[in-house]
Structure 1
Amino acid sequence: MTIAGGIILIMLGAILTWAVEFDLAGLDINVVGVVLMLGGLVGLLFGIYRIAMARRAVGPIDEPVHRHEVYEDPATRRTTVYEERRRYDEPPL
């Protein structure tokens, strides 16, 4: 679950808990809202934990960084020129 999904579940649960005045037989909307808020909170914390672990995962630091510069001599560069010749003697179709 992502952070956005957790926030959406928390908002939906809060709406069901405090803003809805609807009664169903055998189902308490307030309890459903609280369960959604708790699930959203768990998902939010898990998403934050995953991001923290992904940022902490770094490759080995002891290896040197090798940088290669790309240099191309302008005199050795080859260019191709295409020439198009058209004849307008023929009538259009």
Structure 2
Amino acid sequence: MTMGLGVVLVVIGAILTYALHITVSWVDLQLVGYILMVAGVIVFVIGLIRFFMHRRTVGTSRTYVDPATGDRVAREERVLPPEDV
């Protein structure tokens, strides 16, 4: 979702900067377009970083013998990113 928002911000900023030739007295639309494009790039990069950090999971599988019953017990541990916990 973050990367999509970044792309949308860049597109809206490019439209305001390059496609619209409207003069408004209280705001400079070209400046707003540039600001939106920079913000979109930053949001997109943050989305990429979160995507690659999310891909890191650690899984460990161990087999133990229960001393009380003699049965084999399989134990699997998985470390997930904070947002999935």
The normalised TM-score by structure 1 is 0.62
* Total equivalences in the alignment: 65
Report the 3-state secondary structure (helix = DSSP H, G, I; strand = E; otherwise coil) of the residue aligned with 1:24.
coil
Equivalence map 1:1-93=2 (5 Å): 2-56=2-56, 58-61=57-60, 63-64=61-62, 66=74
Percentage of pairs with the same residue: 33
Q: Cα distance, 1:60 vs. partner?
A: 4.5
- Which runs of at least 4 in structure 1 moved beyond 4 Å after TM superposition? none
The answer for the alignment partner of 2:68 in structure 1 is none
1:19-51 per-residue CA deviation (whole Å, 9 max, x = no partner) reads: 000001131110000000000000000000000
Q: Cα distance, 1:64 vs. partner?
A: 3.0
Q: Counterpart of 2:44 in structure 1: which amino acid?
A: L
Distance (whole Å) between structure 2 residues aligned to residue 34 and residue 27 of structure 1: 13
Distance (whole Å) between structure 2 residues aligned to residue 16 and residue 23 of structure 1: 11
Query: What are structure 1's unaligned runs of at least 5 residues?
Result: 67-93
The normalised TM-score by structure 2 is 0.68
Structure with more of its chain in helix, by fraction:
2
Query: What are structure 2's unaligned runs of at least 5 residues?
Result: 64-73, 75-85
